[in-house]
Amino acid sequence: MGWLSGAIAVLAKDVQLERRSRYALNTLLLFAVSSLLIVAFAIGGAPLSTGLRSVILWIIILFSAIAGLSHAFVSEEERGTILLLQLNATASAVFVGKLLFNLGLSLLMNTVVAVMFAVVLGFGEANVPALAAILLLGAIGLSGATTLISAIIARTPNKGPLFAVLSFPILVPLLVSVVGGTTKALEGGGIADVFAELSTLVGYAGMVITASVLLFDYLWRD
Amino acid sequence: MKAWSGFVKPLIVVWVTGVIVAGFLVPVPRIPILEHTARNLYFHVPLWFALMAAFLLSGFYSARVLANGRIEDDIRASQAALVGIAFGIMGIVTGMVWARFTWYVGTSKWWNNDPKQVMAAVQLMIYASYFVLRNSFDEPARRARVSAVYNLFAASTVPFLLYVLPRQLESLHPGGEGNPAFDEVTDPAMRLIFYPAVIGMISIFWWIYSQRVRIVLVEEALEDDG
């Protein structure tokens, strides 16, 4: 099997499994929506500054991602299907397939959270293209950084809570950039105004994905 | 190794003692706001150089673990990180105290999200997570490889903390926006103590680190026997 068809096959397999169980998707979306509602109820009618809005938006996205994106490799370990994957596809093809699946999940999550946020808390005078660009690049960076962590915790004996502990320090540069960019976008700044943040996010995503592909080999060959 | 290490270690003791005494006693130029706290340059900044040395050493040995899978390299990588944590905490504390009584005097602030503070805190978080990850394994070979992967993966995000964040957050550190760079504010006379202090702090780091490695190697050997 070629590299690209291998990656697509892994992605298609995960999408198929997800369509049957909807486990990851339901966890992710339900966590995101309920934490958003809890925040909205807790805030009540208090006025929110643009800076505070973008912090709340990204904290919700970050915690939902931690809750929902850890399944990628843990599920293979739990089902005992790792050996089968190792036999049938190269390491990088498996990684890229899983990365694309996680990317799809985070894009969906970011869209749902942003729409819900707009309805419940409101974005005010936000510049929509700039906000959409940050949400898109944020999803790429988020899935890029968490997919390798998911592969790491799948190798540990007790999988659960480690995911958050290992992910947070790695996500700090991403968080600072997306929160800064979102604040500017919420104040009405266009693509040109958030260009510095966008290029940081492109660089961050490129860096973590390159490092992941290089390092994943060592986790896979066991 | 044995022949010269017996000579090097007393030299480090004399060297660092000299640096500390000179750091407290040699006159410093009286700069407004900084005044005598400028002496912290001899202690706070070299602590960061030592943390950077720990970071490079730990990353280097983690890469070697992936290349050859030797347990000794894993011990070296983890002990460099462990001693690095100690130096990082001292660096943060000396920096907080310094900032509290110069930049933030009258504001009662201890922490201001300065990019260098964020970077230091994140680096310590990474190493703390690294040890949590390590402790979850029973099998040494797997522990060595997986934690080396995490160490290098985390290291790949450090350039963002070093070069990108400082352009997005305001900093009061030298070289930040509107602040003079290190070269312009530092009196040439102070460099005569500052550079030896850097060498001294890195030597102390190396000393503690090499002792830690030897202790862990002995412990492992004892476990294997018993």
Size of chain B in residues? 226
The string of pLDDT tens digits covering residues B31-44 is 767 777 778 888 88
CB A138 within 8 A of CB A110: yes
What distance in Å separates the CA atoms of residue A126 and residue A152, rounded to the nearest whole number?
Answer: 38
Beta-carbon contacts of B94 under 8 Å, excluding residues fewer than 6 positions away, are B40, B43, B44, B47
Size of the A and B interface in Cβ pairs below 8 Å: 92
Cross-chain CB nearest to B137 (options A148, A156, A215)? A156
Q: Which residues of A touch B132 (CB under 8 A)?
A: 162, 165-166
What distance in Å separates the CA atoms of residue A179 and residue A53, rounded to the nearest whole number?
Answer: 9
What distance in Å separates the CA atoms of residue A149 and residue B35, rounded to the nearest whole number?
Answer: 47
CB A166 to CB B150 under 8 A? yes
Nearest by Cα to A74 from A2, A9, A14, A134: A14
Would you say the pTM of this structure is higher than 0.80? yes
Q: Which domain holds residue A99?
A: 3-220
Nearest by Cα to A205 from A139, A111, A110: A139
Residue A19's Cβ-count burial label (10 Å; 0-12, 13-18, 19+) is exposed
User: Which position has the higher pLDDT, B215 or A71?
Assistant: B215
What distance in Å separates the CA atoms of residue A102 and residue A71, rounded to the nearest whole number?
Answer: 9
Distance from CA of A221 to the nearest CA of B (A): 10
DSSP structure string for B128-187? HHHHHHHHT-S-HHHHHHHHHHHHHHHHTTHHIIIIIHHHHS---STTSTTSPPHHHHS-
- Mean pLDDT throughout A98-107? 93
Around Cβ A22, how many Cβ atoms within 10 Å? 11
The string of pLDDT tens digits covering residues B15-26 is 989 988 888 888
**Cα B169 from chain centroid (whole Å):** 22
Min mean pLDDT across A119-123, B2-6, B201-205 is at: B2-6
Interface test with B, best of A66, A162, A172 (most B CBs within 10 A): A172
Residue B78 has pLDDT above 50, yes or no: yes
The pLDDT value given to residue A135: 95
Mean pLDDT of chain A: 89
Q: Which residues of A touch B169 (CB under 8 A)?
A: 176
What distance in Å separates the CA atoms of residue A112 and residue A115, rounded to the nearest whole number?
Answer: 5
What distance in Å separates the CA atoms of residue B1 and residue B118, rounded to the nearest whole number?
Answer: 39
What distance in Å separates the CA atoms of residue A2 and residue A90, rounded to the nearest whole number?
Answer: 9
Q: Which residues of B touch A177 (CB under 8 A)?
A: 164, 168
Residue A93 has pLDDT above 50, yes or no: yes
Residue B66 has pLDDT above 90, yes or no: yes
The string of pLDDT tens digits covering residues A1-23 is 678 888 899 899 889 988 888 88
| Confidence band of B76 (pLDDT split at 50, 70, 90) | very high
Distance from CA of A78 to the nearest CA of B (A): 17
The pLDDT value given to residue B126: 92
Q: How many domains does chain A have?
A: 1
User: Which position has the higher pLDDT, B214 or A157?
Assistant: B214
CB A176 within 8 A of CB B166: no
Nearest by Cα to B25 from B14, B17, B33: B17
What distance in Å separates the CA atoms of residue A51 and residue A219, rounded to the nearest whole number?
Answer: 39
Interface test with A, best of B160, B161, B165 (most A CBs within 10 A): B160
Helix, coil or strand: residue A157? coil
The pLDDT value given to residue B152: 94
Interface confidence (ipTM) of the complex? 0.90
Min mean pLDDT across A6-10, A66-70, B177-181, B200-204 is at: B177-181
| Residue reference for tokens 């999803």 | A139
Around Cβ A129, how many Cβ atoms within 10 Å? 12
| Confidence band of A205 (pLDDT split at 50, 70, 90) | very high
Residue of A nearest to B123 (CA): A169
Residue B175 has pLDDT above 60, yes or no: no
Residue A200 has pLDDT above 70, yes or no: yes
The string of pLDDT tens digits covering residues B133-173 is 999 988 889 999 999 999 999 998 888 887 777 766 666 67
Q: Which residues of B touch A206 (CB under 8 A)?
A: none
| Confidence band of B178 (pLDDT split at 50, 70, 90) | very low
Mean pLDDT of chain B: 84
CB B142 to CB A148 under 8 A? no
Q: Which residues of B touch A200 (CB under 8 A)?
A: 160, 164, 168
Cross-chain CB nearest to A158 (options B136, B150, B159)? B136
What residue type is assigned to position B65 of the chain?
A: V
User: Which position has the higher pLDDT, B132 or B6?
Assistant: B132
CB A101 within 8 A of CB A163: no
Residue A101 has pLDDT above 90, yes or no: yes
Cross-chain CB nearest to B165 (options A155, A156, A173)? A173
